[in-house]
Structure 1
Amino acid sequence: MTHDVIVIGGGSAGYAAARTARDAGADVGIVDQGPLGGLCILRGCMPSKAILRSAEIAALMKRAKEFGLEPVPVRADLSAIVDRKNRLVQEFAEDRIKALKDPRFTLYQARARFTSPHEILVGETVLTARSFIVATGSIPCDVPIPGLKEAGYETSDSILDLREQPASLVVLGGGAVATEFGQFFARIGSCVMILQRGDHLLSDFDDEVGQTVETAFRQEGIEVHLDCQVRRVTCQGGEKVVEFEQAGRVRSVAAELILQALGRKANIAGLNLEVAGVAVRDGRMMLNEEMRTSQPHIFAVGDVNDLNPIVHIAIQQGEIAGYNATHPTAVPKRIDNRLDSDVIFTDPQVAAVGWSEKVCRRRGVPYLAASYPFADHGKALCSGQTQGFVKLLCHPRTGQLLGAQVVGPEAGELVHELAAVMYYRGTVQDLLRIPHYHPTLAEIVTYPAEELVARLQAEDHVGSRAQQ
């Protein structure tokens, strides 16, 4: 069997690539061994956000008295939460499966492996194509902690199906998976302890972001241990004991369950990429901004390329690969990371777009930064959601918005206004010109913008006087 383009993997990135190539008139084959649906739908965004909603409601119910309401006892039923999650996931998956089985595609539900740069073996069928797009996603990392495998642990994949609530939980890691699941289990009544290697949670963001989330977690009764190196795991008296070193001291915590949230890796085992001539370094395919690997006709998109495990970015990558695979003589499309964004669905939420202060300093990019707290914002005070802040970064001469970080209520929604302004290369002056309804959470962005505009005007005034 021969196709113009073969996409290996039918998740968000793979389907976007297949749809784009099909719309360009290509004969497209999709290979997915199943279960069909993709990581986002089956084991990622959708199921995790479904269960987090239950914890959000539980947390609000516990605060009833603060809002003048009679409190009622809150008891979580984890099995019922999982049932609701499964119903939603099934609905989402059915839509994706219907799309993959569109007769305009040829779907092969089997495992694929390369037998040459232009051939793959699917079951017992050899398929050839002019271009291949690898979109096989990611899997949890294997972490060489002595005793961890023997003691047993959950990952972000398996914990979604847990029906018996653990009395206690140790979370290894301090990123998105660790913080979201850690807070979820704490809010439904488990005793939660988080062990983070770095000096603050969410280390990819600026320091004050993780510090704000850490403060909120401690207020909810979550134990957060920073700057710790896990040494080993043992089982004692029916519990899993995690031994770690912190500030030169050896300490330990014990719990009924361990969540290993120390990252994911590209799902490339068994693809035979070496036979295809695709360069792999440290478990990652090497590729350029056109999503091409070392073999120009083989592309890699989504989590499998280990660039940025965010769904909308995976879709953009898929669309770029699908276009480039079907337009060999056209000017190739390239990924633009200027508007990369991220959202962590903790409470307070965390969202970011563009460059952070860490990134600006690392790249030597000059900037001005200003922040404003939700604790001094009217709508946030009325809503009882006062943790966090909005921080804006702009160019020190033009005022062009370079990036933003939001920690607080509805951060994942608020960040989109800032992304829209950045898309049009707008400035902090533009943020002030845009009308913002009062009282809303959104109007908080105008306060750091005001500070930055004042600083820009002051510097312009100083510059003008110096020229005179």
Structure 2
Amino acid sequence: MEKHDLIVIGMGPAGMAVTAMAANMELDVLAIEKHKVGGECLNYGCVPSKALLKAGEVNEVAENLRQYGIKLSGKTEIENPLEIVRNKVGKISGNKTMKAFDRAKLIVDQGEAKFVDKKVVKVAGKKYTADKIFIATGTEPMIPPIPGLKDVPRLTNLNIFEQEDIPETLTIIGGGAIGSEMAQAFSRLGAKVNIFQIDDHLVPTGDQEAGKVLEEKFKKEGIGVHNSTGINKVEEKNGKIITHTDVGVFESDKILVATGRKAVLEPLNLDNAGIESAKTGIKVNKRLETNIKGIYAVGDCNGKALLSHAAMHQGMLALMNAINPTPIKQFNYDDYLVPWSVFTKPEIAQAGITEKEANEKGINYQIVKERYEDYGRTIADGKPEGFVKVITNSRGKIFGATIVGEAASELIHEWILAIQHNISMFDIMMTQHSFPTISLMNKRVAEKWIMNKTDSGIIPKLAKKFI
């Protein structure tokens, strides 16, 4: 039986982080991946979706050059965007990525790892043991119990990028990040798209007002958005997908299911190691350790946050806890804010709580908002849709920030830092931002907060007296 310092099961974002860091520390690492290094993020999710979104964005810009005073003779022609996406993914997952794991032993595409006991893992008929084991097996698409859905040819993020051509018509079930991103990407590349969801606005985990801004943009681009809509049945007839909904019957060439994720736990034989799990994933404490000492569960498989950056961060924290000789100073996952972004145009990004959550928590708050349409740079860029909304109070404490608009996924990081380190609105206002960057929108919100304070009350009277 082979003995190692660490065993990592799963080489998605979480497993890659543990493996690369541990190997760089010259620890003896065995990493097991049942399919492809990179997991869903690199091969079937974050990376290929961004490549396809960029193709759609380029085509959309080319077809609307007149807004920039440029005339294009003729029309663009869609050739092979999905093939180019696959080529880009192949390039990213090539030798450069694999070089980070040169110091680790990899077992790839030889079957699934299974626990024999709490110290031993078996794969491809061979047993391995380690003092520390990290489970990073991720999640897989969840198929809702809609009558007929499991019987028709359907797309998920696992196979959508393997399509040879852009379908003429596409039905999408789910209006979250994956559903919204793919709706816009395929629509901008020529497909007629309809989204159906039971929630009342797009990106339902986020701010309602931000979701409505995105919905208006989708409608302008010809995407059908059907919120608060149930699906009664799905069937296939004459090579077409027929979707029966509360608002009518729709026919399409393809159907994409984007209704959430579920943890991949069954192949692991967790019971053999005595590892506890729930419907949402493997149970862990604040240090990301399971109920079995020395076994950690990181990334999507623990159900904490189904996001690639959260998975990478968890991998780092869990490794730091595993090698920490002093139990006094531990790195608790709950101490770190988890932001998220959706890469549609306009983008949506969130840090901290939303306005709805602030109401539910009974927080005494105030909203400060700055609209993109009031800033010269975003007007000049032809990107006037959106706003920066901050949930704060009279003292300038920041509880949350919602951004919908151009570069929202970049602007949000200033608010992440502010919330996590208790930086106030006054501090943001007093920080010089380069003009005319889009990030100046953050400073403009902080300026509006201070102006709201000085517009009324005793401050104007005192200012007049002192001057």
Same topology, TM > 0.5: yes
Amino acid at match of 2:83: D
Describe how 1:291-440 pairs up with structure 2 within 5 A.
Answer: 291-327=288-324, 329-330=326-327, 331-336=329-334, 338-394=336-392, 396-440=393-437
Question: For 1:374 and 1:15, how far apart are their aligned partners in 2?
Answer: 38
Question: Which segment drifts farther, 320-329 or 173-182?
Answer: 320-329
Q: Are positions 1:449 and 2:446 aligned together?
A: yes
Amino acid at match of 2:406: P
Do the aligned residues in 1 keep the contact of 2:143 with 2:150 (CA within 8 Å)?
Answer: no
Describe how 1:20-419 pairs up with structure 2 within 5 A.
Answer: 20-24=21-25, 26-77=27-78, 80-94=80-94, 95-100=96-101, 102=102, 104-109=103-108, 110=110, 111-245=112-246, 251-327=248-324, 329-330=326-327, 331-336=329-334, 338-394=336-392, 396-419=393-416
Amino acid at match of 1:271: L
CA distance 1:70–1:459, shift in 2 (3 Å): closer
Question: For 1:121 and 1:236, how far apart are their aligned partners in 2?
Answer: 45
Amino acid at match of 2:439: A
Do the aligned residues in 2 keep the contact of 1:17 with 1:320 (CA within 8 Å)?
Answer: no
Cα distance, 1:285 vs structure 2:
1.1
Do the aligned residues in 1 keep the contact of 2:431 with 2:443 (CA within 8 Å)?
Answer: no
Could you give the per-residue CA deviations for residues 291-315 of structure 1, whole angstroms, max 9, x where no partner exists?
1122232111112222212222211
Partner of 2:465: none
Cα distance, 1:459 vs structure 2:
8.8
Question: For 1:8 and 1:460, how far apart are their aligned partners in 2?
Answer: 61
Cα distance, 1:345 vs structure 2:
0.7
What SS does the corresponding residue of 1:287 show, helix, strand or coil?
coil
Could you give the per-residue CA deviations for residues 17-53 of structure 1, whole angstroms, max 9, x where no partner exists?
1233345553221111222232221112111111110
Could you give the per-residue CA deviations for residues 170-219 of structure 1, whole angstroms, max 9, x where no partner exists?
00000000000001111111110000111111111111011110111011
Amino acid at match of 2:250: V
CA distance 1:328–1:297, shift in 2 (3 Å): farther
Could you give the per-residue CA deviations for residues 81-128 of structure 1, whole angstroms, max 9, x where no partner exists?
12322222122212232322x1x3222233200011211111111111
Do the aligned residues in 2 keep the contact of 1:76 with 1:188 (CA within 8 Å)?
Answer: no
- TM-score for both structures, normalised by structure 2: 0.92
Do the aligned residues in 1 keep the contact of 2:63 with 2:76 (CA within 8 Å)?
Answer: no
Do the aligned residues in 1 keep the contact of 2:280 with 2:302 (CA within 8 Å)?
Answer: no
CA distance 1:399–1:30, shift in 2 (3 Å): same
Sequence identity, in percent?
A: 31
What SS does the corresponding residue of 1:401 show, helix, strand or coil?
coil
Question: For 2:309 and 2:223, how far apart are their aligned partners in 1?
Answer: 31
Amino acid at match of 2:272: V
Question: For 2:363 and 2:142, how far apart are their aligned partners in 1?
Answer: 34
CA distance 1:323–1:438, shift in 2 (3 Å): closer
Cα distance, 1:398 vs structure 2:
2.7
- TM-score for both structures, normalised by structure 1: 0.92
CA distance 1:93–1:304, shift in 2 (3 Å): same
Question: For 1:118 and 1:434, how far apart are their aligned partners in 2?
Answer: 52
Amino acid at match of 1:46: V
The answer for unaligned runs of 5 or more in structure 1 is: none
Question: For 1:460 and 1:291, how far apart are their aligned partners in 2?
Answer: 49
Question: For 1:92 and 1:363, how far apart are their aligned partners in 2?
Answer: 43
What SS does the corresponding residue of 2:432 show, helix, strand or coil?
coil
Question: For 2:143 and 2:418, how far apart are their aligned partners in 1?
Answer: 41
What SS does the corresponding residue of 1:130 show, helix, strand or coil?
strand
Amino acid at match of 1:195: F
Amino acid at match of 1:98: K
What SS does the corresponding residue of 1:228 show, helix, strand or coil?
coil
Could you give the per-residue CA deviations for residues 212-267 of structure 1, whole angstroms, max 9, x where no partner exists?
10111011111111101111102234321111225xxxx22111110111111112
Do the aligned residues in 1 keep the contact of 2:62 with 2:76 (CA within 8 Å)?
Answer: no
Cα distance, 1:390 vs structure 2:
0.7
Question: Which segment drifts farther, 320-329 or 185-194?
Answer: 320-329
